Structure 1
């Protein structure tokens, strides 16, 4: 079921699945994707959780306000948690969504029971080279302005983002795609900085959850079993 909430002047769309009485799980997609990107793993996740799959600003059915940054997206997610009455949740993010999730978990650690980062970490200055891309000739389903806004932040990230990873209190799972083009040290450095973090590798590229959905679900299931809520 797709719904919308007004959060800080923007509309955030989200779809839900699973038992409303189950533990909340929030899914954050990558750059250029949407909540629909989780279709291959949504039934498995919804079997044990009440899942909220969000369209981040500029994507899917959410507002395309023209202003984009990782902190703005983090604040949107926090606002949605408040508006939806989600006090604490399992937070899962892929790529850009994983960085948004990490910023949220360090800013409001009390809102996150477990953190899952899929093939992403928080970069330090000079770690990634992401020059701007030319606008495509054809319209895109997302606001292309978000692409270069986020790429600029990856190219020159706030150093405080990496430093504050040690504020994350939730057990953390980082799922690496063994065939991903991302630099491996992006993930290992973040795993070393985050307390209670575990790094695992799956034989896949950058989109582990779509390329190897069964393995993705298995790793999350093992992680949650090892860290029951309250540990």
Structure 2
């Protein structure tokens, strides 16, 4: 059973190198994906979470993968949630790492424009505005659509040191039929990088279940 790994905004598949190596050492086939506009993936004219989900489904089709375990961090977790909602039969196990749900109300401060850095980036700068806007936009129906997820799900929180509210993740876990929430204390937002051993201990047993 392949394991598909989806990275966060502004990151690349390389963020999973340590975790992927551990999975491979335990006999798992790993597919770490550069999402649209990131890493080695093509830059595009349009960016959205739905389009990224379409890309992942196309990737699975191209590689003949009918079903996989899917692990997503932050933005990649939002894409993984979409995948599990739209194609539940293709996701055997779902792991969502410190992924912020949509806010209940618009942020008080608008998204401030930031000048593009002069140094080369591992992603297309043009994706920042549309993806950040989508991540920050309220979507009351998003919570209701969580009940479309039928696959066993693990939510991993980085604890209070992360900007992602533990309470929001607890609410997510309650909305998904078969869901477990694990908190890795003092991990912050990048749990798999900051606390790789603890992340492995939380996720590996879940993925090994039959």
TM-score (norm 2): 0.91
How many residue pairs get matched?
205
Partner of 1:188: 170
Query: Is this contact kept in 2: 1:59–1:142, CA < 8 A?
Result: yes
- Aligned-pair CA distance for 1:180: 0.7
2:130 paired with 1:152: no
Partner of 1:99: 78
RMSD of aligned Cα (Å): 1.7
2:112 paired with 1:136: no
Partner of 1:222: 205
Gaps of 5+ in 1: 1-22
Which structure dedicates a bigger proportion of its chain to helix?
2
Give the Cα separation in 2 of the matches to 1:150 and 1:216: 26
Give the Cα separation in 2 of the matches to 1:127 and 1:95: 19
- Aligned-pair CA distance for 1:128: 5.8
Give the Cα separation in 2 of the matches to 1:128 and 1:154: 11
Query: Residues 127 and 112 (structure 1 numbering): CA distance in 2 closer, same or farther, change over 3 Å?
Result: farther
List structure 1 segments (4+ residues) > 6 angstroms apart after TM superposition.
none
Gaps of 5+ in 2: none
Which structure dedicates a bigger proportion of its chain to strand?
1
Query: Is this contact kept in 1: 2:106–2:138, CA < 8 A?
Result: no
Partner of 1:86: 65
Query: Residues 144 and 40 (structure 1 numbering): CA distance in 2 closer, same or farther, change over 3 Å?
Result: same
Give the Cα separation in 2 of the matches to 1:48 and 1:33: 26
2:145 paired with 1:164: yes
SS at match of 2:54: helix
